[in-house]
Amino acid sequence: MIRQWQDYPLRTGILWMGRYRINRFLGMGSYGQAYACTDMETGRTVLLKRNMPSKKELGRLLLERESRILQELRHPRIPQWIRYERRGRHEALIMELVEGDNLEHKMMAQGRTFSLLESLRIVKELLQTLDYLHQAGFVHRDVRIPNVLMQEDRIYLIDYGLSCRIGERLPEPLRSGLKETEPAAAEADVLAGSSWSAVKRRMRVPVPASDLYGLGHLFLFMMYAGYVPDEGQGERGWEEELALPQAVTHFVRRLLGQDEPGWHSAALCGQELRELMNRLRS
């Protein structure tokens, strides 16, 4: 109960931290809240991400980490870091606002579906951004449909709240707060089955392949948005249900680590995807 009112979104129209006018509440994740605001000092419209009051120190640590990582990144499809604000108990990460909707909203709220080639194009764009991120030494670890924004045909990768350096072991308070298990346990999950929590744990292993794995699931989510199950038909695996061209199925199974070989980089994966798309078009 207390948690609910503590985390109640800021009211539209108020001036926050004496500087940011709240224009729109955009979303509430597990640890943060995002708002579109006007920075009254610069007149610029920005994105303000605030730590969730009830999450106390964990929420604050995550936001601060996200800020430090975002500050190091400079890429046309990653929101640009602007500044980090601290006023008493309140902290906020200010970044470039991308006008557009996230893929989850497009699919769930707007009923948008994506063709095979459209979905592959989105995967291809994300591979370019991931290649940049991995070369900069980071793993995103949360490549999912709510964390991808579409602005006309531009595809942005957002939410670096769970990102870390390649191979990094998070500091203890974060590991226990986020309930992160040992990599070996995550591998065992994959072998044991594919519950969503097992999928998430696999996505959190701090290696670039985790982002390709997330991308494989993201692609399947997009294809399932347009899938109508046959009545009376029991549940089958995605390979059978989606009945994609064989080369695409193999490509996705490689992203998911279910077929060999994997890729040494997102760039090589993107290169193969481009060739695959050319073959599909001809």
**Joined tokens for residue 6:** 């503590």
Give whichever of 146 and 262 is closer to ligand ATP, judged by the CB atom: 146
Residue 26 interacts, among Mg ion, ligand ATP, none and using kind-specific CB cut-offs from 5 to 8 Å, with ligand ATP
User: Given the structure tokens 């347009």, which residue do they identify?
Assistant: 226
Give whichever of 27 and 226 is closer to Mg ion, judged by the CB atom: 27
Answer for which of 147, 204, 218, 222 binds Mg ion (CB under 5 A) is 147
Residue 30 interacts, among ligand ATP, Mg ion, none and using kind-specific CB cut-offs from 5 to 8 Å, with ligand ATP
Instruction: Judge contact between 163 and 66, C-beta under 8 A.
Output: yes
Q: Give me the sign of the Cα torsion angle 50, 55, 61, 66.
A: negative
Instruction: Judge contact between 123 and 155, C-beta under 8 A.
Output: no
- Stretch in the footprint of ligand ATP (CB under 6 A) among 12-20, 26-34, 175-183, 210-218: 26-34
Give the nearest distance from C-beta 29 to Mg ion in angstroms.
5
Instruction: Judge contact between 238 and 255, C-beta under 8 A.
Output: no
Give whichever of 34 and 123 is closer to ligand ATP, judged by the CB atom: 34
Which of 227, 249, 229, 251 lies closest to 239 in space, CA to CA? 249
Q: Does 129 bind ligand ATP (CB under 6 A)?
A: no
Answer for which of 16, 32, 150, 199 binds ligand ATP (CB under 6 A) is 32
Instruction: Judge contact between 40 and 84, C-beta under 8 A.
Output: no
Which of 226, 218, 229, 243 lies closest to 115 in space, CA to CA? 226
Q: Does 270 bind ligand ATP (CB under 6 A)?
A: no
Residues numbered 60 to 89 that lie near ligand ATP (CB under 6 A) are 79
Residue 32 interacts, among Mg ion, ligand ATP, none and using kind-specific CB cut-offs from 5 to 8 Å, with ligand ATP
What are the CA-CA distances from residue 56 to residues 25, 92, 94, 177, 195 (Å)? Answer: 21, 13, 19, 11, 29
Give whichever of 129 and 147 is closer to ligand ATP, judged by the CB atom: 147
Q: Give me the sign of the Cα torsion angle 230, 235, 240, 244.
A: positive
- Stretch in the footprint of ligand ATP (CB under 6 A) among 95-103, 171-179, 226-234, 237-245: 95-103
Catalytic residue list contains 259: no
**Joined tokens for residue 222:** 């997009």
Site residues (CB under 6 A) for ligand ATP? 26-32, 34, 47, 49, 79, 95-98, 102, 146-147, 149, 158-159, 161
The residues carrying an active-site annotation are 142
